[in-house]
Amino acid sequence: MKNKRVVITGATSGIGKEIALGLGAQGANLVLACRDVAQGEKTAREIQERTRAKNIVVLHLDAASQKSIREFAKQFRKQFRRLDVLINNAAMNRGALPRATNAEGIELTFATNVLGYFLLTQLLLDALTASAPSRIINVASEFASDLDLDDLQFERRPFVGAKAYAQSKACDRLLTWAMARRLKGSGVGVNAMTPGLVVDTGLYRHSPPGLVARLRTYSDRTLADGADTAIWMASSAELEGVTNKFFVDRKQVACEFRNRAAEEKLWRICEQLTRTT
């Protein structure tokens, strides 16, 4: 990964931080896209101490805010022309918390986990294309369900945090396939992965304690297990030219969320919701 530039969203904790550590150890030039810059700087220092990574830049990104994503892209472009790997990882799960919206009035889970991936990718595409062959890795989940393309923001259904999260993770897969279709032949590969169920991270901080306890007994997956496939997808020569695939534990698996009409419908909705004019 020497001389390769990698943007990782949500790199201050959990799986994103572990991915950053893994790619830092391989000598990548890291851009940590974090909503808490002080925490990002702390993470950067830790990565520097624990790996041989020298070039780590921390840039502010609130993935829930389109304004912030646009500002991030502007700051990125000021410093860099090329990007080799984009890892869309930052996500949240409202668990037992009630429905909430961002400054743009969009339900927070959808804004962060879906529009966050969509808009950042759109805004960094020129840098990824300039670096082709380059890679986009969308961190999705096996925990994917409750997809309703006519009610993506839970305006008609009662809001349930876990359902909004599961829907957003299904959307991450649909978007990956729609994106891959658009990027065919461009040299920018776009694939999705899951860290596997479950890795004990801050993702479940708002979930009912009973659920968290049950999840903990269900799995002994470590952070390293959760990050391994994304690190491999970012760095392995095996993945050169590979696009439009879903990976679990370094294995390509079938994805039940493949439906061209649904993918395109979601794409259009994301375009509409991120349009500025």
Which parts of this chain interact with ligand NAP (CB under 6 A)? 9-10, 12-16, 35-36, 61-64, 89-92, 112, 139, 141, 143, 169, 194-195, 197-199, 201-203
Phi-psi region of 187 (alpha: psi -120 to 50; beta: other; left: phi over 0): left
The closest alpha carbon to 249, from 265, 223, 267, 230, belongs to 230
- Residue 213, C-beta contacts closer than 8 angstroms, at least 6 positions apart: none
Nearer to ligand NAP, 12 or 274 (CB): 12
- Helix (H) / strand (E) element for 194: namely strand 188-194
Q: How far is the CB of 251 from ligand NAP (least distance, A)?
A: 16
Q: How far is the CB of 243 from ligand NAP (least distance, A)?
A: 20
Nearer to ligand NAP, 119 or 198 (CB): 198
Active-site annotation holds for 218: no
Q: How far is the CB of 185 from ligand NAP (least distance, A)?
A: 28
Phi-psi region of 208 (alpha: psi -120 to 50; beta: other; left: phi over 0): beta
Nearer to ligand NAP, 169 or 173 (CB): 169
DSSP bridge pairs for 35: none
> Do 67 and 103 contact (CB within 8 A), yes or no?
yes
Nearer to ligand NAP, 54 or 216 (CB): 216
Token couple for 51: 């790996």
Inter-axis angle of helices 161-183 and 260-274, nearest 10: 100
Nearer to ligand NAP, 132 or 197 (CB): 197
Nearer to ligand NAP, 130 or 253 (CB): 253
Query: Is the preceding omega at residue 133 within 30 degrees of 0, hence cis?
Result: yes
Token couple for 199: 């890795």
Residue with the closest Cβ to ligand NAP? Answer: 14
* Distance (Å, whole) CA 262 – CA 185: 23
Of 117, 165, 204, 218, which one is the catalytic site residue? 165
* Distance (Å, whole) CA 48 – CA 52: 6
Q: How far is the CB of 143 from ligand NAP (least distance, A)?
A: 6
Q: What angle is formed at CA 13 by the lines to CA 24 and CA 25, rounded to 5 degrees?
A: 10
Q: How far is the CB of 106 from ligand NAP (least distance, A)?
A: 12
Token couple for 91: 């996500």
Q: Which residues are catalytic?
A: 165
